[in-house]
Structure 1
C-alpha cells in the first residue's frame, strides 16, 4: 500500500493496532493464479512475530499456500469520513474549497505460513484463540472435541515484515487537525471516536 511519510507509523504502533483488531483478510497469491485467495478470518497475535489461527480443511487457501507459503495478512479500521468543509478553518477559509478525505488505519503483515496438522498442535492453537476471546474460560478443552479436529487445520504465521499506515491528517497543520478533531467529537458517528483518538495521539504524543 502507498504510505506517505506523514502517514507512516512505527512497527510497535502497527502491532498495537493488530492486537486491538484481531480480524483481517489473509491473502495467498499461490503460483500462476489469475486472482489470489482471500480469506476473512479471526486470529491471535501470539507475540510480535507469531500469528495463530485455524481454518476449515476445504478452504482453498491451503492449496495456494502449498504453492507459495508467503502470505499477506491485511487489516484496516478506525475509519471516518471527513467532509471537505471540515478542512477549512471557520471564518478564515472558504469551506467550499476543502477537499474531502477518509481517515483510517491499516496494517499489512508479510508472513511465512506453517500449516499445523497434528491434533495436539491444532488444539494448542484453539486454546490460544479461546483464551483471548472467552475470558470466563468455562468451556471444555479443545482436546475434548477430538472428533472435530480433523475438519480443521491450524496455521502459524511467522511475521517477516510489518507495514503500518495511520492516515489521520498528518500532512495538515495543528489548527486544521484540532478543528477536525472537534468536528469528529461533535458528529459522534461510527468510527469518529477512534479516528479522533488517533488524530490527537499524533498531535499530543
Structure 2
C-alpha cells in the first residue's frame, strides 16, 4: 500500500480501535498469482505474538483455506470510515480528495485442526458479537448437531508479521482547513461521513 509519510499511522491504540470497530475484513490470497478474496468477521488479539494475531473461521466449502501454507503469507484488509472532501471547504487552494482510514495486516496462517480449539474459537467469536445484543444468544451445541456444525467450518489464526495503517485525514492541510473539514463532515446526515469527522477530531483534538 502506498503511504505518504504524513498519512502513515503507527499509533497502536488507533490501529486496534479501527480494526475492532471495523472487524468485517477482507482476506486476500493469490494462489498461482490469481487474487482470491473472502469477506469475514475477525477477532484481533493485539497481545498475542510480537505484532498480534487474527482469529477467524470460514465455511469448509470455501476453497480459500486450501491456499494456506506455512511458507505463504496472506493479507487482511480492514476498511475504516471514508468520505469525499470538497476543496470548497478550504480557505486556501486545494483539489477534490477523499479522506479515509485503512489497515493492512500480513501474516502466516495456521489451520485450527483441534475440535476443542475450533469450538472455543466459535464461542469466542459468538461472545464478541452477541455481547452487544440485549438478549445474547447462547450456542448450547451438543451431540450430532454440534459435530455436524463444526465439520461445516474451518477455523484458522494468522500470526501477524507486518502492519500497515494509512489514515488519510487532511494532515497535509493547514489547521483551519482541517477544522473546516471536520465541521462540514460532522454536519452530514451520512453516518460514515460523521465517523470520519469524529476520527479527525480525535487525532487533532490537541490542535483544535
TM-score (norm: length of structure 2) = 0.86
Residue 66 of structure 1 and its aligned partner are, at CA, apart by: 3.3
Residue 51 of structure 1 and its aligned partner are, at CA, apart by: 1.2
Say which SS state the counterpart of residue 166 (structure 2) adopts: strand
Q: Which residue of 2 aligns with 1:106?
A: 102
Q: Distance in 1 between matches of 2:187 and 2:7?
A: 24
Q: Distance in 2 between matches of 1:183 and 1:199?
A: 12
Structure 1 contact 123–143 (Cα < 8 Å) conserved: no
Change (3 A) 1:143 1:100: farther
Matched, 1:75 2:78: yes
Q: Which runs of 5+ in 1 are unaligned?
A: none
Residue 29 of structure 1 and its aligned partner are, at CA, apart by: 2.1
Matched, 1:16 2:17: yes
TM-score (norm: length of structure 1) = 0.87
Question: Number of residue pairs matched?
Answer: 196
Q: Which residue of 2 aligns with 1:153?
A: 154
Change (3 A) 1:65 1:11: farther
Q: Which residue of 2 aligns with 1:140?
A: 139
Residue 60 of structure 1 and its aligned partner are, at CA, apart by: 1.9
Q: Distance in 2 between matches of 1:58 and 1:28?
A: 16
Residue 102 of structure 1 and its aligned partner are, at CA, apart by: 0.9
Structure 2 contact 46–53 (Cα < 8 Å) conserved: yes
Change (3 A) 1:192 1:28: same
Residue 173 of structure 1 and its aligned partner are, at CA, apart by: 0.8
Q: Which runs of 5+ in 2 are unaligned?
A: none
Q: Which residue of 1 aligns with 2:3?
A: 3
